[in-house]
């Protein structure tokens, strides 16, 4: 090979790499434009609005951090944030624990018709629209609904009540709907993660005399750590940004018992005409999501 050919080869390779990079960016361009228009631009605009007092129509007035100060000093604005944090128990902790137990039981059944049916039944709530789920559960929670009828049938009629209208049970009742919806997703994803665990690890642990609980704690949990991190991220975001289920069941009532940031932002912006305050609450919600999710991601990377 001549010296001229040797010099031209790297140039051709470099030119081909640049062309491939340009083609790659060309394919990405529609997604980048959509992301800029529908994610970054609204986010920057919301942050800008949060520093103004504005009704969405007339002139706006610069008030600096006044909207943020109002959120953290006004109980009616702080209550939705507290309620959203409580919902993490129902949207995250309960579904993941239930999913771990159910996935372990289904895995122990091996591959059979019952295991396949169980996976299908558990995942069905995930594909049901949240609005439909909220309406169905509101009928079940009614004074003459299915839940109270079951309580009367088993002799526990004294426990019956209008679950969504009671100040003490409204938030847990709504939270259990979220648990029902998300348990199937957690089960299926964790079951997939368990399928990737090397069976020889279980065999070695059994030879060492490990029982069910030790197998679960020493082999299963470490093996599905990444899946748990993904589920924590998804379910925490679902809890903090919940809207559909709350709106269709209680609309934030009774009082502010089930009021969440999503409902408050909707009311402030479209009912009360306080766009600046609604934008500030949205920014606070974003910061809250990041404050919960990012430490989980960081802990997962350090554990790896």
* 3-class secondary structure, 52: strand
- CA 160 to the chain's CA centroid: 31
CA–CA distance, 260 with 265 (Å, rounded to integer):
9
- pLDDT-derived band at 12 (thresholds 50, 70, 90) equals low
Strand partners, 53: 61
CA–CA distance, 261 with 64 (Å, rounded to integer):
21
- CA 31 to the chain's CA centroid: 23
Q: Is the pLDDT of residue 207 over 90?
A: no
Structure tokens that stand for 206 in this block: 């059994």
For the stretch 33-73, pLDDT in tens is: 999 999 999 999 999 999 999 988 888 899 999 999 999 99
pLDDT at position 19: 84
CA–CA distance, 234 with 182 (Å, rounded to integer):
10
CA-based radius of gyration for the chain: 26
Which CATH code fits 66-303?
Answer: 1.10.3720.10
Name the DSSP letter for residue 53.
E
- What share of the chain has pLDDT > 70, as a percent? 93
Task: Report domain extents, the chain.
Answer: 3-37, 66-303
For the stretch 174-203, pLDDT in tens is: 999 999 999 989 998 998 898 888 888 888
Q: What pTM was computed for the model?
A: 0.85
CA–CA distance, 160 with 173 (Å, rounded to integer):
13
């Amino acid at each position: 090979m001549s010296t001229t050919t040797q010099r031209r080869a790297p140039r051709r390779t470099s030119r081909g790499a640049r062309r491939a990079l340009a083609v790659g960016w060309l394919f990405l361009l529609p997604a980048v434009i959509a992301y800029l228009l529908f994610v970054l631009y609204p986010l920057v605009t919301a942050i800008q609005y949060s520093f103004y007092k504005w009704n969405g129509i007339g002139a706006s007035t610069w008030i600096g951090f006044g909207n943020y100060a109002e959120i953290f000093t006004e109980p009616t604005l702080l209550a939705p944030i507290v309620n959203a944090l409580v919902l993490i128990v129902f949207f995250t902790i309960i579904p993941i624990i239930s999913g771990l137990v159910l996935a372990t039981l289904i895995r122990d059944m091996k591959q059979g018709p019952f295991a396949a049916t169980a996976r299908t039944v558990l995942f069905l709530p995930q594909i049901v629209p949240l609005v439909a789920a909220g309406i169905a559960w509101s009928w079940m929670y009614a004074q003459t609904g299915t839940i109270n009828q079951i309580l009367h049938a088993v002799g526990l009629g004294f426990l019956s009540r209008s679950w969504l209208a009671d100040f003490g049970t409204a938030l847990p009742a709504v939270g259990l709907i979220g648990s029902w919806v998300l348990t199937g997703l957690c089960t299926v994803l964790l079951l997939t993660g368990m399928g990737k665990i090397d069976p020889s690890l279980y065999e070695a642990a059994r030879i060492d005399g490990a029982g069910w609980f030790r197998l679960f704690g020493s082999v299963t949990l470490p093996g599905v750590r990444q899946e748990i991190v993904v589920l924590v991220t998804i379910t925490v975001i679902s809890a903090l940004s919940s809207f559909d289920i709350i709106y269709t069941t209680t609309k934030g009532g009774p009082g502010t018992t089930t009021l969440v940031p999503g409902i408050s932002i909707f009311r402030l912006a479209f009912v009360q005409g306080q766009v600046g305050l609604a934008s500030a609450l949205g920014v606070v919600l974003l910061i809250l999501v990041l404050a919960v999710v990012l430490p989980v991601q960081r802990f997962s990377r350090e554990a790896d």
